[in-house]
Structure 1
């Protein structure tokens, strides 16, 4: 196994034709900020150019996969230009992962929320432990999903159910997410990586070139709509950041109390 060590926020290990990428900010539940997203994007692009890599596994260190975007980092942004640059990075990250010429797997344990869930759903397979806390919970701070969350939920659930899931923003365990059709497999607690390893072994002994060709055919037709959704999310997110409900959502979050929304 080759381990790459020149990253601050992620770990990357190559084992034959399989790349294992770990989000590595366990002190913040792997909240996604600019450094982590930059390193992930660079890694995705490097792996996509490597013809020897066939499978990419995305997982998280510590107590969970990812709690989502780093709210503290977003609150420190000044003005529309900086925010739009940040949103463009989110969009490029999700699109690159979604369209990778590899078979991608996400292993969820603990939290997979907000942008973290969008990244998970951009993978070809999503495996979660039964005790996971899975949520598209932007609504709790008066925002809309980003990272292609609208599109990815629609692909798995259909538009009507996706809309309702986004509106509710509730936390689901692994079994609830599986029953809804949001993830591909649920495992017993602490057995997620074991299940992923079984899937990896199955994939690398399969005619994987044909599998990747099927992915290319289907994704080619989907990427245009995915890009459109990403652009709409970027514009909507900026508008929602100006609302009184968002300001109340953030205030309630920092004060650890239920928000009092007024639809303003």
Structure 2
């Protein structure tokens, strides 16, 4: 797949030589994390991890932003059943599991951040080996204002 872009619904993958470029592709939503994106990006990390021809991963967002965090138009708690401690714990566990993908990857992962890098997207960038921030990058954990603890 050298030089070609593979498109899932929410993730673009491009292999250039020994470099895998993973691009979060939801610019209409400032690359907010959706369930579909989580599934597709996790699958791409697994595929890349098992590919010995790839030596480094560059993670970025399509458009002006790395990511605005978890998509607030999704009722995340209801995806995991009733709003109760068990459902909330399961939701948080799966969020952390997703955010750990760059950390667990056997290849170095570089986050290329421009624009918003908030909440879950910020935590995802923190799990990378290196985060390169452009002049427009804005990092934040806005959930702290509401007494929510970031899972990372």
TM-score range relative to shorter protein = 0.7 to 0.9
Q: What is the number of equivalent residue pairs in this alignment?
A: 146
Segments of 4+ moved more than 3 angstroms: 80-86
Do the aligned partners of 1:34 and 1:86 also contact (CA within 8 Å) in 2?
A: no
CA distance in 2, matches of 1:86, 1:75: 7
CA distance in 1, matches of 2:12, 2:146: 30
Point out where structure 1 has 5 or more consecutive residues left out of the alignment.
Answer: 149-264
Which has the larger strand fraction?
A: 2
Give the number of the structure whose alpha-carbon radius of gyration is greater. 1
CA distance in 1, matches of 2:146, 2:36: 23
- Deviation by residue 1:1-22 (Cα, 9 ceiling, x = unmatched): 02212x1111111111110011
Q: What is the SS of the residue equivalent to 1:37?
A: helix
Pair 1:111-2:116 in alignment: yes
Within the candidate set 143, 151, 172, 2:148 is matched to 143
CA RMSD for the aligned pairs? Answer: 1.6
- Alpha-carbon shift at residue 75 of structure 1 (Å): 5.4
CA distance in 1, matches of 2:61, 2:42: 16
Q: What is the SS of the residue equivalent to 1:71?
A: coil
- 2:101: which partner in 1? 96
Which has the larger helix fraction?
A: 1
Q: What is the SS of the residue equivalent to 2:100?
A: helix
Q: TM-score, normalised by structure 2?
A: 0.88
- 2:68: which partner in 1? 67
CA distance in 2, matches of 1:84, 1:34: 17
Pair 1:125-2:130 in alignment: yes
Q: TM-score, normalised by structure 1?
A: 0.52
Point out where structure 2 has 5 or more consecutive residues left out of the alignment.
Answer: none
Higher relative contact order (CA 8 A, sep 6+): 2
Q: What is the SS of the residue equivalent to 1:73?
A: coil
